[in-house]
Amino acid sequence: MPWPPKEAYGSLDAMLHAWDLEIPAAKALQAELAPQVRVEPLRSPPKVVAGVDIAFDKPSGRLFAAAVAFRLDPLEQIAAVSVCRPIPFPYVPGYLSFREAPAILAALEALPVSFDALLVDGQGLAHPRRFGLACHVGLWIDRPTVGCAKSRLIGEHEEPGIERGSTAILRKGDDRIGTVLRTRTNVRPLFVSPGHRIDFAGSIELTLRCTAGYRMPEPTRQADRLAAAAKREGLAASESAGG
DNA sequence: GCGACAG
DNA sequence: ATCTTGTCGC
Ligand SMILES: [Mg+2]
């Protein structure tokens, strides 16, 4: 199966070299790729949902990316992997994908099972150029992808109700860019926005279906934990090795 | 120029 | 994101 889809970018080679860019070039690339993002209803209900996240170790300049797959109905973990890579890009608001996407893609390629949808720890459409981390990764894997961020990057919104499931529209000017979704009663809401191949309603529904007692959806929450664990043992391993 | 600012 | 123990509230 042809993955990643080079057709979506014109040239896979160009995209492979597009990870190492200066801010101005990265900004231009986002503007060029944003029109490729498709906000549309899910074509078929996802059976397997994957989640990804990263743990950083500034001292060693390394990062640990994890990908965890969950089957729905009932929600249960079926696979998990982690990879180690050098940190490729500094954290710059608006350019998170250039720091995290390469490693996320590597982790997803290492996942031993196929997945129908992906949950990312960051914004999707709710981005200055409508091209957050979830859009970048979603376009690459060409599968339904949702951005589930813990805080706001841009946009205005009202406060959603305190009950789990309550929502408030996240907007920029007259355009809707996402949803402020309460995944747990009386707990800070999440900022959910489409990454690719899914719409606002679908991103809300999928996020809620993947939530089990915690603020963060399970795929992303477990990926966060695995990345942190990989970091701990990764550092311990390099220490005992003398590095 | 100043403040905001995913992870 | 990361540095980090105990403490407050549902
Ligand atoms: Mg993260």
CATH number for the domain spanning A78: value is 3.30.2170.10
> Would residue A6 count as lying in a domain?
no
Give the model's confidence band at A242: pLDDT under 50 very low, under 70 low, under 90 confident, else very high. low
Q: How far apart are CA A140 and CA A212, in angstroms?
A: 28
Identify the domain containing residue A91 by its residue range: 22-242
For residue A53, give the amino acid letter.
D
Give the model's confidence band at A141: pLDDT under 50 very low, under 70 low, under 90 confident, else very high. very high
CA to C1' distance (Å), from A132 to B5: 14
Give the model's confidence band at A19: pLDDT under 50 very low, under 70 low, under 90 confident, else very high. confident
CB A110 within 8 A of CB A83: yes
CA to C1' distance (Å), from A86 to C2: 17
List all residues 6 or more positions away from A16 whose beta carbon is below 8 Å from its beta carbon.
none
> Would residue A15 count as lying in a domain?
no
> Would residue A10 count as lying in a domain?
no
> Would residue A2 count as lying in a domain?
no
Return phi, psi of residue A207, to 5°.
Answer: -65, -45
- Quick one: average pLDDT of A87-98? 97
| Chain A residues 105-134 within 7 Å (CB) of strand B | 121-123, 127, 132-133
Nucleotides, chain B, CB distance < 7 Å = 5-7
User: What ipTM describes this predicted complex?
Assistant: 0.93
User: Is residue A1 scored above 60 in pLDDT?
Assistant: no
CA to C1' distance (Å), from A91 to C2: 13
Q: Starting from the edge strand earliest in sequence, which strands make up the sheet with A175-181, in order?
A: A76-86, A62-71, A48-57, A117-120, A145-149, A190-196, A175-181, A167-172
Q: How many domains does chain A have?
A: 1
Indicate the DSSP class of residue A159. Answer: P
- pLDDT, residue A21, reads 84
